[in-house]
A and B are shown apart, each in its own frame.
Chain A
Amino acid sequence: MIHIDNLVKRYGTLVALDHLSLDIKEGEIFGLLGPNGSGKTTAINCLLSLLKYDKGTITIFGKEMHPDSYDIKQNIGVVMQNVAVFEQMSVWENIDYFCGLYIKDKEKRRELVEEAIRFTGLQDFKKMRPKKLSGGLLRRLNIACGIVHKPKLIIMDEPTVAVDPQSRNRILEGILELNRQGSTIIYTSHYMEEVEQICSRIAIIDHGQVLSIGTTEELKSMIKTGETITIEAVALSEDKLAQIRRLPHVFDISYEEQILKIRLSSAKHNLVRILNYMQEHDIAFGRVFSELPTLNDVFLEITGKELRD
């Protein structure tokens, strides 16, 4: 459905997109995950022809994308990072206005606007002006304006920034519902939990390059970490730490402020083996946690830095 090939975008000497290539299939929720400044928004702006790029090609629905490709744009919906609505129009007027940029038929537009209002749960706020809405409601209005014309492709650029958890869940559920209704979604975020929760495939990007791409499971399986075990342990000697490091499947340990963190490769009974060792060597320990790898671990292992750096 979308084919991005060798995209290069420079701002002076800064290379924002460095030969970025992506293929997005129809019906996917495709996540673009990366820290702030990694090139996610630049990639989206190039995709929408809002920015001129220096090299590469972008094909959407089988046609090359240009600023005047209005037939392609007709089937794209955009939800911006910032709320992009008119302060002096009501909720209904705003949604109707942005719907009118795609749909000319008045009756059809009215139905679509009502549907978008129902979908985003804004029925009680139709006549209100945006400045009277809470942050979460504003975000929902922003989404309603982007999806009202029922586009085949929806691009969402960090739509949950500065949103309370309740509204965030509602928005994420809405995105899944849109996908069920047949829309392909490109979702950018630096919140790995969100991406992990809703995206069918994810591309991790940094410095304008795709570092890794695949489903959540595929990405996690690419890395060495299979499990991270955290144990509260008192006064561990260097000798004991060296012995733990030599245990099967352990490849990295750290011990700070009486918290022992052990990284292990994927294997059965890792936790049992570690706890047995602790008991056999009379090591006093308190709480124990076992975590499967997250996308942050993937990012950490690929780039050597935390996703939210």
Chain B
Amino acid sequence: MTVFKGFLTITKRNLRMVFLYIIIFLAISLLTQKMLGTQGAVSFKQERLNIAVLDRDGGRLAEGLTEYLSVYHNIKDIPDDESILQDRLFYREIYYIVTIPEDFENKVLHGAQTLPVTKVPGSTSGFYVDQQINTFINSVRVMTDGGFSLTDAVEKVKEYSQETPDVTMIDKNGHGGVMPGHAFMYQYMPYIIISILCYTLGYIMIEFNKPDVRKRMRCSAVSDRTLNTQLFLGYTVVGFAVWCICTIMPVFVYGRQFLTDANLPFYLMNSFVLTIVSLTLAFFSGSLLKSEELISAVVNVLSLGMSFLCGVFVSMEILGKGVLTVAHFLPVYWYEVSNNLLAGNKSLSPAQMTEFFTGLGIQLLFAAALFGAALVFRKNRAQTEG
């Protein structure tokens, strides 16, 4: 076990750096997830926009639309002058201009013409008001088609708009439907574990990657297989220690909430498998990279890249289809899929259980592929280097 002991001796020499990285990454992720975690629960607030309505019709339907929009927004009284309106829009004094044409009812409600509007192109505010106008017109259309008079239909739609629905989140996950804090922490774990393991093990491996040291070891009575096995055993010890620290952290931060979560064993399983993947990734990059600068650059690209693509920093629901398709080819994606299952459900159904273990299996396949690739690389390098 000489190589293994040597690995641990060098790790011991680098303990200060290992702890420094652990503290830095844990602090960053704790702060970030604290901020985002709180926002997620209470951040929705209905915004009132300043908008202008140019009523060139003056009929009941037009009045109704103006009154309906005034429930949600501030209607600004602005002269019907194109240049003035454009100036106000440009300086964001108003965000949206609705022009109600003459004969509004026939042209828009019963006809195929759309309501002319001016808005900030591609803006969320524009989309927001669009949706409200569509809701109003469609609702009135449905009611008049159903036999209501226009006046009654407008009144009814206005009446309904005043009502505030009570929303009760279904408590699917035992935390009132809200994502628990420790789930956020586990969502961030890939970034922490990949960064810490790839950085620290990469630095340790610089010593073992020196061509002359490697040459001397290859001249010795220790086979390549024994050498690689003992090195990976060293990796495993460091990886297990980092996993333990990362597992203890939620206990300190979230205490009982975390310890009483029925999915606790699954969280541990998922993060443990992720640690194995990270170890093989670190073994691969550690075999490949020879300088501190390279390690720093490559590890940043790997950890940040995978985190952004696979839903570590941003929830998967927000990610685009294309991004998610690419993410399928990265192990962290499957970790996040499993983590989302645990965060969203109090207990897993048999189908969800299958999905969860499929995620773990795919992660393990990635680990096996990375480990194999690292071994092949190390063997080829040994043959070509001499």
Chain A bound to chain B: yes
Please provide the 7 A-B residue pairs with the shortest distance between their CB atoms, ordered closest to farther. A100-B2, A84-B212, A101-B220, A51-B386, A74-B221, A84-B216, A88-B13
Can you name the residue of chain B whose Cβ is closest to the Cβ of A104?
B2
Neighbour of A86 across the interface among B213, B219, B220, B383, CB < 8 A: B213
Name the distance in Å between A138's Cβ and chain B's nearest Cβ. Answer: 12
Establish whether residues B215 and A84, one from each chain, have CB atoms under 8 Å apart when the complex forms. yes
Q: Is A284 an interface residue (CB 8 A)?
A: no
Neighbour of A45 across the interface among B5, B6, B217, B386, CB < 8 A: B386
Kindly identify, within residues 206 to 232 of chain B, every residue whose CB is under 8 Å from any CB belonging to chain A.
207, 210, 212-213, 215-223
Establish whether residues A93 and B386, one from each chain, have CB atoms under 8 Å apart when the complex forms. no
Kindly identify, within residues 312 to 362 of chain B, every residue whose CB is under 8 Å from any CB belonging to chain A.
none
Establish whether residues A73 and B219, one from each chain, have CB atoms under 8 Å apart when the complex forms. yes
By DSSP majority rule, is chain B's interface helix, strand, loop, or mixed? helix
Cβ proximity bits B126-157 to A, threshold 8 Å, 1 near / 0 not: 00000000000000000000000000000000
B210 contacts across to A, CB distance below 8 A = 84
Neighbour of A97 across the interface among B6, B212, B383, CB < 8 A: B6
A89 contacts across to B, CB distance below 8 A = 6, 9-10, 13
Establish whether residues A100 and B5, one from each chain, have CB atoms under 8 Å apart when the complex forms. yes
Establish whether residues B9 and A80, one from each chain, have CB atoms under 8 Å apart when the complex forms. no
Q: Is B14 an interface residue (CB 8 A)?
A: yes
Q: Is A231 an interface residue (CB 8 A)?
A: no
Establish whether residues A78 and B10, one from each chain, have CB atoms under 8 Å apart when the complex forms. no
Q: Is A48 an interface residue (CB 8 A)?
A: yes
Establish whether residues B386 and A73, one from each chain, have CB atoms under 8 Å apart when the complex forms. no
Establish whether residues B219 and A82, one from each chain, have CB atoms under 8 Å apart when the complex forms. no
B5 contacts across to A, CB distance below 8 A = 97, 100
Establish whether residues B218 and A50, one from each chain, have CB atoms under 8 Å apart when the complex forms. yes
Name the distance in Å between B337's Cβ and chain A's nearest Cβ. Answer: 40
Kindly identify, within residues 1 to 29 of chain B, every residue whose CB is under 8 Å from any CB belonging to chain A.
2-3, 5-6, 9-10, 13-14
Contact size range, A: 20 to 34
Name the distance in Å between B289's Cβ and chain A's nearest Cβ. Answer: 17
A93 contacts across to B, CB distance below 8 A = 6, 9
Neighbour of A78 across the interface among B3, B14, B216, B383, CB < 8 A: B216
20 A–B pairs (Cβ distance < 8 Å), ordered by A: A78-B216, A80-B216, A84-B210, A85-B213, A86-B6, A86-B10, A86-B207, A86-B213, A87-B207, A88-B14, A88-B207, A89-B6, A89-B9, A93-B9, A97-B9, A100-B2, A101-B3, A101-B217, A101-B221, A101-B222
Establish whether residues B221 and A70, one from each chain, have CB atoms under 8 Å apart when the complex forms. yes
B218 contacts across to A, CB distance below 8 A = 50
Establish whether residues B2 and A88, one from each chain, have CB atoms under 8 Å apart when the complex forms. no
Q: CA separation between A88 and B7, bound complex, in Å? A: 10
Kindly identify, within residues 256 to 313 of chain B, every residue whose CB is under 8 Å from any CB belonging to chain A.
none
Known A-B contacts: A50-B219, A89-B6. Give 17 more (CB < 8 A). A50-B218, A51-B386, A68-B223, A70-B223, A73-B221, A74-B221, A76-B219, A80-B212, A84-B213, A84-B215, A85-B213, A86-B6, A86-B213, A89-B13, A97-B9, A101-B217, A101-B220
Establish whether residues B383 and A52, one from each chain, have CB atoms under 8 Å apart when the complex forms. yes
Q: CA separation between A80 and B210, bound complex, in Å? A: 13
Neighbour of A48 across the interface among B219, B221, B383, CB < 8 A: B219
A101 contacts across to B, CB distance below 8 A = 2-3, 217, 220-222
B223 contacts across to A, CB distance below 8 A = 68, 70
Establish whether residues A82 and B10, one from each chain, have CB atoms under 8 Å apart when the complex forms. no
Q: Is A20 an interface residue (CB 8 A)?
A: no
Q: CA separation between A100 and B217, bound complex, in Å? A: 11
Q: Is A229 an interface residue (CB 8 A)?
A: no
Can you name the residue of chain B whose Cβ is closest to the Cβ of A41?
B386
Q: Is A102 an interface residue (CB 8 A)?
A: yes
Q: Is A271 an interface residue (CB 8 A)?
A: no
Name the distance in Å between B48's Cβ and chain A's nearest Cβ. Answer: 63
Q: CA separation between A8 and B157, bound complex, in Å? A: 94
A33 contacts across to B, CB distance below 8 A = none
Name the distance in Å between A75's Cβ and chain B's nearest Cβ. Answer: 9
Q: CA separation between A48 and B223, bound complex, in Å? A: 14
A74 contacts across to B, CB distance below 8 A = 221
Q: Is A83 an interface residue (CB 8 A)?
A: yes
B386 contacts across to A, CB distance below 8 A = 42, 45, 50-51
Q: Is A145 an interface residue (CB 8 A)?
A: yes
Name the distance in Å between B2's Cβ and chain A's nearest Cβ. Answer: 3
Q: CA separation between A74 and B383, bound complex, in Å? A: 20
Q: Is A255 an interface residue (CB 8 A)?
A: no
Q: Is A285 an interface residue (CB 8 A)?
A: no
Name the distance in Å between B344's Cβ and chain A's nearest Cβ. Answer: 46
Can you name the residue of chain A whose Cβ is closest to the Cβ of B14?
A88
Name the distance in Å between B380's Cβ and chain A's nearest Cβ. Answer: 12
Can you name the residue of chain A whose Cβ is closest to the Cβ of B385?
A50
Q: Is A125 an interface residue (CB 8 A)?
A: no
A50 contacts across to B, CB distance below 8 A = 215, 218-219, 385-386
Name the distance in Å between B20's Cβ and chain A's nearest Cβ. Answer: 16
Name the distance in Å between A281's Cβ and chain B's nearest Cβ. Answer: 60
A87-B207, A88-B207, A100-B5 in contact; A80/B10 too (CB < 8 A)? no
Establish whether residues B220 and A102, one from each chain, have CB atoms under 8 Å apart when the complex forms. yes
Name the distance in Å between B10's Cβ and chain A's nearest Cβ. Answer: 5
Name the distance in Å between B386's Cβ and chain A's nearest Cβ. Answer: 4
